[in-house]
């Protein structure tokens, strides 16, 4: 059954009317008709089973038959702080992290990043990543689309990560603790973790994490690529908490 994400404010009545790209997709791409079933999601983890009631040239109106919680969301909020990666790796990370349950992705620029932030192009890249996340969320049955922020500095990312209920800094060097030792049996609020770039974290960046009391997490005996490490962690979180 087709699924579409809509803004929260459209819900609350027996009938929901929406336009834009979603309406065009329903009417022209899918060629749906009055009476066809459709599932809507409100960006807050709720789903609505509906039937199409009517069309105009620009909008679709559906009747809500039932509502409930979507089943594709993780039990706690998971935030990935991801160092910029070159080429199409960032797009790949966004897509797969969405499938694995991430709730927000914060790209950041660190000392050893090969890819660099470009103010002129950052907004376009963010919009592209948001579209990738939206498509992946719909494909895999998520109840909400992950937030994708604009690129921030390493310092900004680290400071924000330190505010989470549980945070850890993924590192391949010495002084780490196994990931399994850092994860409690349950987490009620938020888990945040940071993944470095292709060139790895600098010693200065590692010391900055230590200074804030953020534990260094080891991800096993093998050194993982940046596009692998985030997915490794998300898979471990899904195994443990879902």
CATH code of the domain covering residue 52: 2.40.240.20
pLDDT value, residue 107: 96
Beta-sheet strands, E only, within 28-76: 37-41, 46-55, 60-69
Same domain flag for 128 and 189: yes
End position of a domain, from candidates 29, 45, 69: 69
Same domain flag for 64 and 108: no
Same domain flag for 81 and 16: no
Same domain flag for 114 and 218: yes
Same domain flag for 15 and 111: no
pLDDT value, residue 192: 96
Total of domains in the chain: 2
pTM for this prediction: 0.87
Domain region containing 230: 77-241
End position of a domain, from candidates 39, 69, 99: 69
pLDDT value, residue 199: 87
Same domain flag for 61 and 97: no
End position of a domain, from candidates 69, 103, 122: 69
Contact between 234 and 241 under an 8 Å Cβ cutoff? The reply is: no
The pLDDT profile of the chain, 242 residues, written as one tens digit per residue, is: 788 888 877 888 899 999 988 899 898 888 899 999 999 988 888 889 999 999 988 899 999 999 988 888 888 999 999 999 988 999 999 999 999 999 999 999 998 787 777 777 788 899 999 999 999 998 888 888 999 999 999 999 999 999 998 999 999 988 899 999 999 988 778 999 999 998 899 999 999 999 999 999 999 899 999 999 999 999 999 999 98
Chain centroid, CA 197 distance in Å:
18
């Amino acid at each position: 059954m087709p699924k579409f994400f809509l803004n929260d404010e459209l819900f609350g009545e027996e009938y929901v009317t929406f336009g834009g790209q979603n309406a065009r997709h329903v009417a022209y791409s899918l060629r749906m008709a009055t009476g066809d079933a459709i599932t809507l999601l409100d960006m807050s983890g709720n789903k609505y089973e509906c039937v199409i009631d009517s069309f105009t040239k620009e909008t679709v109106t559906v009747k809500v038959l039932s509502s409930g919680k979507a089943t594709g969301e993780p039990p706690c909020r998971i935030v990935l702080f991801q160092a910029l990666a070159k080429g199409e790796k960032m797009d790949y990370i966004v897509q797969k992290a969405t499938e694995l349950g991430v709730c927000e992705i914060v790209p950041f620029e660190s000392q050893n990043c090969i890819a660099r932030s470009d103010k002129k192009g950052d907004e376009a890249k963010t919009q592209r990543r948001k579209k990738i996340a939206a498509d992946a969320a719909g494909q895999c049955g998520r109840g909400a689309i992950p937030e994708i922020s604009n690129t921030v500095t390493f310092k900004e990312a680290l400071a924000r990560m330190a505010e989470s209920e549980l945070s850890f800094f993924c590192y391949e060097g010495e002084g780490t603790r196994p990931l399994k030792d850092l994860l409690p049996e349950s987490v009620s609020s938020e888990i945040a973790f940071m993944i470095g770039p292709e060139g790895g974290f600098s010693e200065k960046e590692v010391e900055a994490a230590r200074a804030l009391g953020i534990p260094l997490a080891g991800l096993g005996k093998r050194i993982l690529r940046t596009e692998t490490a985030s997915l490794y962690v998300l898979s471990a979180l899904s195994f443990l908490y879902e």
